[in-house]
Structure 1
Amino acid sequence: VEFPETRPLARRDAGLLKWTRYDPDVLAAWVAEHDLGVPPEVTRRLRDLVDENAYGYHGADNELGGAFSRWATSRHGWTPEPELVVPTSNVLQGIWACVEAFTQPGDGLVYTTPVYPPFLDAPPTTGRRAVDWPMMYDEQGWSYDIDALQALLEADAGISLLLLCSPHNPTGRLFEHHELVRVVDLAHEHDLLIVSDEIHSDIIYPGSTHVPTLTIPGAAARTVTVTSGVKTFALGGLRCAVAVAGDDHLQARLREIPAHLLGGANRMGCEATITAWENGGSWVDSLLALLDGHRRHLVGRLHSELPRIGVHLPDSTFLAWLDLGSFSPNENAARWLRERTGVACGNGPAFGPGGRNHVRMTFGTTATLLDKMVDRMVAGLIDR
Structure 2
Amino acid sequence: MEPALGEATRDGGRAAYLLCNPQNPTGAVHTPAELTTALALADQLGVRVVADEIHAPVVPDGAQFTPVASLEAGSRAISLMSASKAFNLAGLKAAMAIAGPDAVADLARMPEEVSHGASHLGVVAHRAAYLDGGPWLDALLVGLDENRRLLAELVRDQLPGVGYRIPEGTFLAWLDFSALDLGEDPAAVLRERARVALHPGPGFGTGGEGHARLNFGTSPQIVREAITRIAAVI
Give the structure-1-normalised TM-score: 0.57
> Which residue of 206, 219, 222 corresponds with 1:369?
222
Question: Is 1:161 aligned to 2:12, yes or no?
Answer: no
How many Å separate the matches in 2 of 1:190 and 1:231? 32
Question: Is 1:307 aligned to 2:160, yes or no?
Answer: yes
- CA apart distance, 1:342: 1.3
SS class of match (2:73): coil
Give CA-to-partner distance per residue, 1:55-108, whole Å, 9 cap, x none: xxxxxxxxxxxxxxxxxxxxxxxxxxxxxxxxxxxxxxxxxxxxxxxxxxxxxx
- CA apart distance, 1:218: 3.3
How many Å separate the matches in 2 of 1:265 and 1:378? 42
> Which residue of 218, 221, 225 corresponds with 2:79?
225
> Which residue of 280, 303, 321 corresponds with 2:133?
280
> Which residue of 142, 156, 179 corresponds with 1:326?
179
Maintained 8 Å contact 2:172/2:213: yes
Maintained 8 Å contact 1:225/1:244: yes
Question: Is 1:181 aligned to 2:181, yes or no?
Answer: no
> Which residue of 330, 333, 350 corresponds with 2:203?
350
Is the deviation greater in 149-158 or in 257-266? 149-158
Matches within 5 A, 1:115-126: none
Cα distance change on mapping 1:301 and 1:182 into 2, 3 Å: same
Which of structures 1 and 2 has the larger relative contact order (alpha carbons within 8 angstroms, sep 6+)?
1
How many Å separate the matches in 2 of 1:363 and 1:194? 29
> Which residue of 241, 244, 247 corresponds with 2:98?
244
- CA apart distance, 1:161: 1.5
Higher radius of gyration, 1 or 2: 1
Maintained 8 Å contact 1:153/1:159: no
How many Å separate the matches in 2 of 1:184 and 1:261? 26
Question: Is 1:150 aligned to 2:2, yes or no?
Answer: yes
SS class of match (2:78): strand
Counting matched residue pairs gives: 231
Residue 48 of structure 2: aligned partner: 193
**What is the letter of the counterpart of residue 150 of structure 1?**
E
Question: Is 1:214 aligned to 2:66, yes or no?
Answer: no
- CA apart distance, 1:349: 1.0
**What is the letter of the counterpart of residue 267 of structure 1?**
H
How many Å separate the matches in 2 of 1:261 and 1:206? 36
> Which residue of 327, 331, 341 corresponds with 2:194?
341
Maintained 8 Å contact 2:154/2:224: no
> Which residue of 20, 25, 28 corresponds with 1:170?
25
How many Å separate the matches in 2 of 1:311 and 1:218? 32
SS class of match (2:169): coil
Task: Tell me which stretches of 4 or more aligned residues in structure 1 moved more than 6 Å.
Answer: none
- CA apart distance, 1:369: 1.3
Residue 213 of structure 2: aligned partner: 360
Maintained 8 Å contact 1:213/1:225: yes
How many Å separate the matches in 2 of 1:321 and 1:309? 10
> Which residue of 291, 294, 306 corresponds with 2:144?
291
SS class of match (1:195): strand
Cα distance change on mapping 1:218 and 1:349 into 2, 3 Å: closer
Maintained 8 Å contact 2:158/2:227: no
**What is the letter of the counterpart of residue 34 of structure 2?**
E
Cα distance change on mapping 1:242 and 1:378 into 2, 3 Å: same
Maintained 8 Å contact 1:175/1:211: yes
How many Å separate the matches in 2 of 1:191 and 1:164? 15
Structure 2: give runs of 5+ residues left out of the alignment. Answer: none
Give the structure-2-normalised TM-score: 0.92
Cα distance change on mapping 1:237 and 1:153 into 2, 3 Å: closer
Structure 1: give runs of 5+ residues left out of the alignment. Answer: 1-148
> Which residue of 238, 241, 263 corresponds with 2:116?
263
How many Å separate the matches in 2 of 1:310 and 1:232? 26
- CA apart distance, 1:327: 2.1
How many Å separate the matches in 2 of 1:269 and 1:313? 32
Give CA-to-partner distance per residue, 1:257-294, whole Å, 9 cap, x none: 32224533111000001000001111111100010000
Maintained 8 Å contact 1:328/1:357: no
Maintained 8 Å contact 2:22/2:53: yes
SS class of match (2:197): strand
- CA apart distance, 1:151: 3.9
